[in-house]
Amino acid sequence: MKTTNAILFAGAIVLAAFFLGKAYVERAERDGTISVTGLGSEDFVSDLIVWEGRFVRESNDLQVAYSVLEKDKKIIKEYLLSKGIAKEQLVFKAVSTAEQTEAQYQNGNYIGNRFVGYQLSQSLEIESADVKKVEELSRSITELMNKGVQFYSETPRYYYTKMADLKIEMIRKATEDARLRAETIATNSGSDLGDLKSANMGVFQITGQNSNEDYSWGGAFNTADKNKTASITMRLLYEVD
């Protein structure tokens, strides 16, 4: 009796394993997937410019240096206002002070530094939606040299204020592109595209148009070019019936 029960129990296990294995195989055969990556990109023009510069004065008398720097500030402010820059757009940073020294030698041996004066500098920043005007200003600012002002201009930086909307549009384009790729693959393989199982967004990139700028794993964010290209990738995983 015990032997019969053991045989029946063993047979049940074999049958259960058979049907379970068959069900797993059939499920696996139905569980085909397609993984595709879509790209969304769009060219755009920056609508915000940030331009910085600094002016410098040197003197062995700190008060004299500061007084001359204040005069330079007044000249710069009047010049910029005459060029159509609004007063509230002018942001003058705090004055920076540094002692100037020169190395001293005796019989070819270094014996220390000698104080020769002070260098005072102040930075100026302009942020504006009038990109063209500030661009032209950054190129003509050397006119201040004719007024005796030591002004050093930096390269303008360009931004886009509707970045959030642009990113959403890029995601839409990338998702649509990925789905079209998936549909093409499914059709060419004689299958039907099923439900979307997962979607993963890639890195959002902003590069200069017609540039050799490389993409980066952390996402490129170009500020040097006025004309830019935004792009993003979407990786979608679909079921296939």
Domain of residue 152 covers: 49-157
Q: Rounded to two decimals, what is the model's pTM?
A: 0.76
Quick: pLDDT tens for 31-84.
588 899 999 999 999 999 999 999 999 999 999 999 999 999 999 999 999 999
Whether residues 151 and 201 fall in one domain: no
Whether residues 69 and 138 fall in one domain: yes
How far is residue 123's CA from residue 119's CA, in Å, rounded to a whole number? 13
* Total number of domains constituting the chain: 3
Q: Are 52 and 124 in contact (CB under 8 A)?
A: yes
Per DSSP, the residues of 220-232 read -B--S-SEEEEEE
How far is residue 98's CA from residue 119's CA, in Å, rounded to a whole number? 5
Q: Are 48 and 163 in contact (CB under 8 A)?
A: no
Whether residues 216 and 191 fall in one domain: yes
Whether residues 147 and 95 fall in one domain: yes
Quick: pLDDT tens for 126-185.
999 999 999 999 998 888 988 899 999 999 999 999 999 999 999 999 999 999 999 999
Whether residues 129 and 106 fall in one domain: yes
Quick: pLDDT tens for 121-142.
999 999 999 999 999 999 988 8
